Amino acid sequence: MNTECFVEDIDDVADGLIPDSRIVELIDELELVRDVIERIRIEL
């Protein structure tokens, strides 16, 4: 994930420029990353 682009997306959310469906996609992506990090932590 491109962090710079992600920050721009967050700015767009604050400005109300991203549709709700895109916000849901971003939340899903963040939850997936969180789950992967948790699995890695458990394996270590």
| Average pLDDT over every residue of 3-19 | 61
Q: How many structural domains compose the chain?
A: 1
Contact assessment for residue 18 and residue 9, using Cβ atoms and an 8 Å cutoff = yes
Spatial CB neighbours of 7, under 8 Å, sequence gap ≥ 6 = none
Rounded to whole angstroms, the Cα distance separating 26 from 6 reads 9
pLDDT for res 30: 94
Q: What is the DSSP string of 6-28?
A: HHHHHHHHHTT-S-HHHHHHHHH
**In this predicted model, what pLDDT tens digit does every residue of 28-41 receive, in sequence order?**
999 999 999 999 99
- pLDDT-derived band at 1, boundaries 50, 70, 90: very low
Spatial CB neighbours of 12, under 8 Å, sequence gap ≥ 6 = 18
> Per this entry, what is the length of the chain?
44
Segments forming the whole domain that contains residue 25: 3-43
